[in-house]
Structure 1
């Protein structure tokens, strides 16, 4: 084969990779298993580019390993960590680790031994890391976080570009580990704790020393917490800082459960944090679920008051997403007490019920208030939007029932420009 200019080689391989990305976008909301099987076939085509000749190999490796998914979930048949470790041994001086920019590390099958963890996390180009923890029934789960602790400290040295971290919980999270993570990853810009959808675990504070001395990541712009009432322990810790850490974007999803600590006492630090920091938030996503609460222990009125206090404190938002803890008919009332702000995007999320009736007319009237004059996008979405093609609940009937908002051109779906 005649030698091609390196620039042309790069463009050819980039085109192959871009076609894979485009296919991913098209199939994102189709059956996941079919997509995974299709992606496997497409990745073979990228690997085959690297077999053409030596000049094709470097660019191929960049695309092949830039986003890497590793798992030891034996039960689902997704175990590929051992094969990846064998590949590292055979790869010679040019390691695949040198190309990994985004790593999805699924440890549902249990913790790795310390040596394997160190080899997998030695990633000089890493910018994004997701770790899925073992579940609370896995062997050695008690040692998982203590075993991972020294590797978090090394990430700051081994992966100086790491800016996004997602700890996907399948068990409760000790507060000392979360603090250790924040103190040892100074370049973090985005941190997600827990699952956006599905069962929510919690922050716990076992009888161990909580680190008090350290620096909160100064560039942390986005913080997402999907937890239960143990989130109050984290906010209580934030309140101990002389200069209160405040991200630009905060997502707080709480599946409230009355567990080992009083519910009201757990929520009080969250209330205080919003009182002090709410007016400095640019973007807020709020969901308070009371599905697990015994209303005899915690009244509906008190719960809704908490929701109201948190939203009223966020007075300078440009973007707000909220899932009302009560039924859909609470939304016009919530819109009524939202403070005057600079809102440009407002999204309301419901867990769709085919028999539910939505107050489209009252919502339309509430949005006509002068305090919403800066609003450019209003969306009403299904809670399970990330797994569906049709995510918007603003069908033609709903749009017809909201003539004022429709005339302003503010009715939108997150995944389209309609």
Structure 2
């Protein structure tokens, strides 16, 4: 594919050279639109494209600071490079629709680049704050320049792609020779290269005349050309990065609402064990003072409240503020979260004198029962007081249980998801008249264990209450075809999805046991998807190739699983250095390549049938643990 002459491209991209250095990308070095919109460098950190082919894995790992975004852009980059190669081979035979697809791919890649650039700027600012004056001042100044100039250049590429897609139509691109125009430029009936050159010239003309590039950029001038959809998409990519969200919120008024929406979506309050250290308690009081202020503007953004209250009244005396008082105060201040998580040591007093706080807004409720005295009638009354509740989760093992059956109650009408590590609640459901069959998603945690045996679980699975279940979740469960038994699937006529959350060393064995039990019933013919959420961090985690090979052989039996269409592998570990360290160490100890690649090989028949999807497991090659 042709590009503009080197001198011309350099002249037209002269204003872009100010961003070279820490934040330099292929676009800032003056690459043309033919491989600039599609970009020679997927995230601004990998090496140049080799026309004769390239090692994607090598490029993806070329820049550790951007590896998160490069991994996410990997599949997009592969598609983009394949499109470029096809375009070189087919020349002018490519259709207008395919050209639009190329531009859309380029837009996605540019979006990744914007997110990566913001992450880089944030890291630079944090490094400057740690170094203090002197060198730190220069870093701050440099980061501001990058944020002002570099960000505009990256965002403008994506913005330009949107404009081109809106202005294009098939007649302008591929109509009669006399009518062929694109962005106001005549196109001779030659090859697609001419179209791309005209696109490049149009973009460069626009860039040279851009007021933000002919003068010192300011925050207001940077944001004028950025579509709101692009801003929202970039912030959506960064929603789990607190530091990056802070950076986004300071860019301009346009970036503030979406950043605030994610930055304040979760309120986590913690009161610790140590009565001698009141730091956590003071923070709770400070937060309550903030939300009580009429100037608090973030309250509508709060969608989840997590309260952990570990104050030991018996040892440390009365606490300044109890969990009930905290919840009631947040409610009085206007918070209306959709999700509430309570973990309160000896404080789980849920008895109601009236409607509970958040009754009008709560959709998801989770209760931690560890180190608590629990009364079934109190829990049931509390749960049934939320009319819009859709999911309920019971975690942990209580110290003592009062099994008193509550008075006549009915489950919230919208409740469809139940996660439990205790048979307390499922046994109560079976006492209702009529037995409700509204639960469609059932999660089981740590069975068999102190909370109950499989026989207790099967009481529920074999009852009318389970007849509509289509998704089963198993978290740290130990099903077996041997003496200890396992779940009974005979009554689950609508079972479609199985999700297993477990460490790498046990997940394959657990799934093999579950499938062996399921295979003996007719319900195996309804199964559509299997999801394995794997844990790689922790002592004793090992990779066992034989189990995965056995699993591959079992899953590719089309007669046994006629409707199976997807087997997904992911990780519940947080992406970061600790996960990379664990993956590298596991690969080294097992004497094999990156775990993600090995899983793909050992589940090769699933991959050949198009079943396998490895979602968010990073590719980390063997290396010693740090």
Q: Provide TM-score, normalisation by structure 1.
A: 0.68
User: 2:184 aligned with 1:184, yes or no?
Assistant: no
Unaligned runs of 5+ in 2: 1-219, 313-318, 587-593, 620-626
Residue 347 of structure 1 corresponds to: 531
SS of match in other structure, 2:392: strand
The structure that has the greater radius of gyration is 2
2:519 to 299, 321, 336: 336
Deviation at 1:65, TM superposition (A): 4.0
Alpha-carbon displacement from aligned partner over 1:300-347 (angstroms, at most 9, x marks no partner): 83322xx142x3443321211246799466466346335333222113
Deviation at 1:381, TM superposition (A): 5.5
User: 2:284 aligned with 1:81, yes or no?
Assistant: yes
User: 2:548 aligned with 1:360, yes or no?
Assistant: yes
1:49–1:56: 8 Å Cα contact kept in structure 2? Answer: yes
Moved more, 408-417 or 40-49: 40-49
1:241 to 422, 432, 440: 432
2:605 to 400, 404, 407: 404
Distance 1:42 1:232, change over 3 A: closer
Residue 30 of structure 1 corresponds to: none
Distance 1:398 1:91, change over 3 A: closer
1:104–1:130: 8 Å Cα contact kept in structure 2? Answer: yes
User: 2:72 aligned with 1:72, yes or no?
Assistant: no
Deviation at 1:253, TM superposition (A): 1.1
Unaligned runs of 5+ in 1: 28-38, 136-140, 195-199, 292-298
Distance 1:349 1:217, change over 3 A: same
- In 2, the alpha carbon distance for the partners of 1:270 and 1:169 equals 19
Distance 1:203 1:325, change over 3 A: farther
User: 2:302 aligned with 1:119, yes or no?
Assistant: no
Deviation at 1:152, TM superposition (A): 8.2
1:150 to 338, 349, 352: 352
- In 2, the alpha carbon distance for the partners of 1:57 and 1:369 equals 51
- In 2, the alpha carbon distance for the partners of 1:337 and 1:378 equals 20
Distance 1:241 1:333, change over 3 A: same
Paired residue total? 358
Deviation at 1:397, TM superposition (A): 3.9
- In 1, the alpha carbon distance for the partners of 2:263 and 2:570 equals 35
Alpha-carbon displacement from aligned partner over 1:91-130 (angstroms, at most 9, x marks no partner): 36x6754553322223244673354431123365624233
Residue 154 of structure 2 corresponds to: none
- In 2, the alpha carbon distance for the partners of 1:361 and 1:247 equals 35
- In 2, the alpha carbon distance for the partners of 1:302 and 1:67 equals 44
Deviation at 1:40, TM superposition (A): 5.7
1:241-390 correspondence to structure 2 within 5 Å: 241-245=432-436, 246-258=438-450, 268-276=455-463, 277-287=465-475, 289=477, 301-304=482-485, 307-309=486-488, 311-322=489-500, 327=509, 330=513, 333-334=516-517, 336-337=519-520, 339-348=523-532, 353-354=541-542, 356-367=544-555, 368-380=557-569, 385=573, 388=579
SS of match in other structure, 2:531: strand
Residue 295 of structure 1 corresponds to: none
Tell me which of the two structures has the higher relative contact order, counting C-alpha pairs closer than 8 angstroms and 6 or more residues apart.
1
Residue 304 of structure 2 corresponds to: 102
1:169–1:201: 8 Å Cα contact kept in structure 2? Answer: yes
1:133–1:169: 8 Å Cα contact kept in structure 2? Answer: yes
SS of match in other structure, 2:542: coil
Q: Provide TM-score, normalisation by structure 2.
A: 0.48
Residue 129 of structure 1 corresponds to: 339
Distance 1:14 1:411, change over 3 A: closer
Residue 91 of structure 1 corresponds to: 294
- In 1, the alpha carbon distance for the partners of 2:508 and 2:617 equals 28
Deviation at 1:410, TM superposition (A): 0.4
Alpha-carbon displacement from aligned partner over 1:41-86 (angstroms, at most 9, x marks no partner): 8448648978xxxx99988876664433333347696553111122
